[in-house]
Structure 1
Amino acid sequence: MTAIDTCNARFGRGSVVPARAGHEAKRTWSTKLEMRTPRYTTQLAELLTALAR
């Protein structure tokens, strides 16, 4: 919080804010579903393994 306060003192109030500081309602973009990571890269149990010979 000290770093945020220092930046705001230098650059003006609200220049630096926590990530979840109420910006979600103002958001004009959304995630494109076709750009999501395939499930196999996020499920550890489903990762492919290579066998060395």
Structure 2
Amino acid sequence: MAAMDASNSRFRRGAVVPARVGLVKKRTWSTRFEMRSPRFTMRLSEVPSVSAVQ
């Protein structure tokens, strides 16, 4: 925050802002909760794994 405050005082107020600022207003998409899977957990056997080939 100190670096952000220093940059804003040097350049101008609002020159550096957190990434989240203004995102909600510009967002045109939304989560479709009806498209979610009804399962809240998963089986360990369903987790993809990668094996190293040498």
Q: What TM-score comes out, normalization by structure 1 length? A: 0.49
Larger gyration radius, structure 1 or structure 2: 2
Q: What TM-score comes out, normalization by structure 2 length? A: 0.48
